[in-house]
Structure 1
Amino acid sequence: MVFQKMRRSIKPMMWVILIAFAASIPLMYARSALQKGGEESLAEVNGEPISYLSFAQSFQSAYERYYQFLGGEISPEMEKYLRFQVLSELVTSELLWQEAKKADIQVSEEEIVTQIKSIMENFPSREAFMRVLEMRKISYPEFKRDIVRQLSVNELVQRIKDSVGITEEEVKSYWMMENEKIEVEYILIKPQNYQKEVKVTQEDMEKYYKTHTEEFRVPEKVKVNYIRLAAQDFQDEVKISPSTIRDYYQNHLAEYQIPERRRASHILIELASDATKEEKEEAREEIEKIQSKLRGGADFATLARQYSQDSVSAEKGGDLGFFSYQEMVPSFSEAVFTLKEAGEVTQIIESPFGYHLAKLTGIKLAYLKTFEEVGDEIEVILAREKTDALVQEEVRRVKNELEQGKISFQEYGKVHPQRVGTSSFFAIDENIEEIGWAPEINQIAFSLKQGDIGPVIETFQGYYILGLEERRPSYIPNFAEAQEKVEEVLITQKAQELAQQKAKFVKLEGETGVSFSSLAEEQKLEYEHLKYFNRKGWIEEIYGEDREKFIDLAFSLPVGKIGEPLLLTDGYYLINLQGRNLPWEEFPEQKEKFKQDLLSQKRDIFLQAWLAKIREKAKIVDNSSLFFPP
């Protein structure tokens, strides 16, 4: 599992978040510093600018990782989300730095030197480290300033977290919530099974209708004409020549360059993000002992199985398989990719997950995919691009001609009948029979006036252009029109009442000592027996809020007690608690672990609340709309 977390493509913006929360990641990998100068600011945080350049650097990294993770498909919606996420993290980073300065946190030269030495240990030499800085266009003074900022922010975060404590009772309660198990049986009484017994008279329906007329109000509905333009409408018009495909390949060689991949094994000594100084020292000592064993000739795979705390890879002798530079957190990749040949072992690596030692076991050199390998793929890309261009061109043309009155929906439909339709009437929150579930279409449809041509709507099905055909205002139907629905409501209500009565009867019978299983069989009701499970345990066919209510009631009952009938989605549940297991004898041994888990959770929650509070008070100016389309 640790290996999966290490793969950076899974966690966008990880490198920015770790600026604030992990002392082990240098800011050289996340240039979120606010570079002043003549650049326009994308945003301002209490007067301090976030430049477009600093944003672009972070956004490019996030985009590349998502591009790899999603197999080269990034929708406009995803790109918009990434922009928001990256900018949000840069704002948070700047707020933390400002708060650290307010707190007058001082970083000693010794701390700076220690941190720099720790980073340099991941490289074979100082010269190799300086080459990496040069490659990333970072001067040594800039790097050192980033280290100061990082250490200051980490100290601030640690102080905030250290202000949170927990009581003995909180630890006990948390342990109990996680370890308590119960055994229950339940009977389910479904109202739908009693609907046939319900008799509703004309008088009942008329009386209910008169006192609940608003309940049967028919909402406002609209009918629209629409034109749908999709890529498949133009596929037959697109032909891509072999020379065009080859030209594309030659002009995009970088896209078909497969990066070097390396195979490594590792040994991990885990370290929590909020670990104390003493815990860090203990973990460091442990990894150094393992390092000494390796230098003494011990087998890496054997030591990994014996000591590594990455349980998944430890079983395989620490093997992580092949990975590219971008797939791992920076400190790990820097160390592994500077090794010269298989068999070499890194120095101690510090990462967000703890301390590692890694052994290089294989290298797949970078190579360029041949034209023969990618020709078909390129043809698909070019065909899609050309098809998309044709769709966009037709969308613009049709919309303009509709707005200018040069054509109507009906006239366009005579030429392209498969692209034009008229919907049935629908409410703003209803599925559109001819189109399907498309809330954005509902919203636009209800905003239109007679004669309006709506904006272009992009959906998974294609592009839609709408025109209002007819609008029906909301109204209260007369009894004759509403009668069927009135009857349905009354039958449902009365069936539920019958089911509730049955549940109360069965509860009374159960309390006399009759077994639940016998009662269920006698009354032809559904019965289930759930053997010991905890609060997170799986309960078949009970989900979401229903499950939470079931769990809350079941765990609140005394042993041998039948709960009051509980109405959930499927009907009334009668729960009988048969047993409870709470192994208090295990608490002393597990207490410290649960204490640390709970403390970590409380600290994280407190930190997030604190961050939200300072963000709310901050003066944040967002100029992103000047740089990006809405």
Structure 2
Amino acid sequence: MLEKIRENSQGLAAKIILGLVILTFALAGIGSYTNSVDTSVAEVNGEKISQADFEKAYQNQRNRMAQQYGDMFETLSSDANYMANFRKSVVESLINQALVDQASADMSIRVSDDRIKKTILEMPEFQVEGVFDNNRYLALINQAGFYQSSDFRDYLRVEMTRRQLTQGLVASEFSLPYQETQLTALQNQKRDIRFASISAKQFEQGVEVSDDEINDYYLANQSRFENQEKVKVDYIAIDVNDIAKTINVTDEDISTYYQENMANYRKEVQRRISHILIEISDDESAAQTQIQSIQDKIAKGEDFAQLAQELSADTFSGENGGDLDWFEAGIFGDEFDAAVLAMNEVGVVSDVVKSDAGLHLIKLTDYQAEEVQALADVKDELTEAVSKQKAQDKFFELQQTAAQLSFEIPDSLDDAANATGVEVATSVWLSRFGNPAPFDNAKLIDAAFSDMIIEEQLNSDIIEVTDSLAVVLRLNEYQPAQVKPLETVSEEIRTLLIAQKASDKAQAIADQLLTAFKAGEDISAQLTENGTSFTVKADVARYGSDVDASITREAFKLPHPIEGAISATSVNLSNGDLAIVEVQAVKAGESTSQANFAEQYSQQLAQFAYQNYVESLREEAKITQRSVVDTASQY
């Protein structure tokens, strides 16, 4: 195939096309191709939010929703109105983030490099057996899409800066005892109510729906009747874990690995030190005199720790007798490090050492000699390490083989499978979201729904799912997204429209009855005519009652009943029925003490404060929103 491409590229037609492309660049200039149109989705105080930023946030939010709600979200995503609101919420969130970032910058809120480093070192995700592991750190951030450490540090800096601002707002909120008393009393309030539910289903009899109405609804709600796009793929998977099971490890392999990685099995010499620091001001001779005086006192037997506590300029370590814990090179400079490394006897005190910080006297307080783990003691660990290393090397070799053969023979996976010793497998039907592993990986799904797979029906490129798994895909079967024919959904639409008309009829009757009821009329007869009557419920609680939640919610929104006025309303129930609700009496609730209530209430207040703060930023900001490209079809 490659040879055929090379031959065709030498033809006259290819040369003419290439010449025209070169001529176009020469006349128009490369700049005309690189000057892109402004595709930003919003602009906040002159700062643009790009389409790329939106798509990244949109995809992340879709993934979170898909993981949380599964098939339910797939159903929701077929609703064009829902997805329009979904995209709008993503843009609003990005605007709020931009406003918070700008406010942080205006207030000079910063996060130091040292704090970033400390945070990374302490993150449990990057630790192995409680100790930071740089290889794990790099692997995880690469897997998350941060291909340089600086990218992840920049991301972390932004997140920590935002957190500083929000924590400053949150920490300032508190609740007062009287507020807690009022709130618990409201929560414990009870109401006597009565309600009458009007069934919508009783009005379905005799409701007529024309073919035109069905057709109009069908045309206006195409997305509701659309089959989701799906694909089934054949694939080969090269897995380090499978390769490791076939690896043979010899004693020679173990010995060689042990020698090459001796540093991993050697515990270096460790020195614990204390120091006394005298700072050098304008008069260095005075500092020299002072440090010499301290040195004389030590020579005469005075306690080093006591002198450090009384005289050291390093007050932080001085409080602990000058203790600097186990020695780490590079803090006080080369001369200081050299002095420490020359000390091998516990209790010895150095001569005066000069550094940029001042003059030091250093005492060795503990010493641990070098320890080397014997090969026999770590043989099992070495065997596993060698097996993994060999498997990883074989993995890269097979990965290259699969990549080459699947490209050179793009209409079959058999050759690549035979060369790598794996079998061609077939996936289940895959959709854009909610797939089983390994197809819950975005890179695999992007490839499965790509033009290369579906339109051109070629093998995919080799896809590195993780550091230990690589996959090549090709199309097995494809089901495009398409609207179901009207004839297959007409009865569904008819049933839906009948229910809707019946509900509208129930709503009209409920409105009429409510108007009469609030005017003081007795509507018992009309309720009976509509197959219902009032149900009386006493001491209904705000939460946890046996009354329909919609009725309870509206009952607690209604005003207290007063003489000469009826406190009532109508309610749409979740099943399509209607209800008339009246509050007859309100009973004050008792103020009770609840565990952690003050903390929970303060958190609610803090959340409201943050929302109000962001709203105030929005009111003062200059915000321009543009139409958002519909990315739903891309994912």
Point out the structure with max Rg over C-alpha.
2
Q: TM-score normalised to the size of structure 1?
A: 0.42
Q: TM-score normalised to the size of structure 2?
A: 0.42
